[in-house]
Amino acid sequence: MKALGLQRQHGWARFVSMQNHLNLLYREEEGEMLPLCISEGIGVVPWSPLARGRLTRPWEDTPSTARAAADEVGKVFYAKAQEADRMVVGRVGEIAEARGVPRAQIALAWLLHKKGGTAPVVGATKMTQLDDALAAMDVTLSTSEVHSLEELYTPHLLSGYE
């Protein structure tokens, strides 16, 4: 907010977007940053919308691939998983199964319904992942589905680069 105030004071170019860490397993941006961005007309570009793939498969299937082993960022951001995280991943699976769509579409549809969101950064490495990202735009979650996805969340310690 201080930077926005300085921009106003000096007539400098304003921020137009912010990349926020935001997904069903990490929602700490909802407290202050999302309301600020909405209030100030700043676009939100969420990164890690699928929690490094954790929202795309059952919890016990978290990959032990070479990519996951080399993912230092994932180790920092998701190393201290909580029981609630496992339950959120399960809920994504329940809704995806009931709708007959991949889990990625449910997790992305939730993110796309958030006020202020602009365009999530999807790290697609396969065409099917890009297809799911595009298909998520056509998934409209009901109010009860959104509540069901959100109700299990427990706050996390702030995580980021230090």
Q: What is the pLDDT of residues 53-83, one digit of tens each?
A: 889 999 887 666 666 677 777 766 666 667 8
Question: CA 76, 128, 91, 22 torsion: positive or negative?
Answer: positive
Q: Does 146 score more than 80 pLDDT?
A: yes
Question: Averaged over 98-117, what is the pLDDT?
Answer: 92
**Helix orientation angle between 143-150 and 103-113, rounded to the nearest 10 degrees:** 100
pLDDT for the residue numbered 13: 94
**Cα 141 from Cα 131, distance rounded (Å):** 18
pLDDT-based confidence at 124, cuts 50/70/90? confident
Question: Which of 111, 6, 99 has the alpha carbon at shortest distance from 50?
Answer: 111
**Cα 158 from Cα 127, distance rounded (Å):** 33
Q: Does 162 score more than 60 pLDDT?
A: no
Q: What are the tokens at 152?
A: 């299990």
pLDDT for the residue numbered 65: 64
pLDDT for the residue numbered 159: 66
The structure's pTM equals 0.87
**Cα 135 from Cα 109, distance rounded (Å):** 9
Q: Does 99 score more than 90 pLDDT?
A: yes
pLDDT tens digits for 12-58? 999 899 998 999 999 999 999 999 999 999 999 999 899 988 899 99
Mean pLDDT taken over the chain: 87
Q: List CB contacts of 142: < 8 A, sequence separation 6 or more.
A: none
Beta bridge partners of 21: 47
pLDDT-based confidence at 129, cuts 50/70/90? confident
Q: Does 102 score more than 90 pLDDT?
A: yes
The CATH number of 2-150, from 3.20.20.100, 3.40.630.10, 3.40.50.970, 3.40.1160.10, is 3.20.20.100
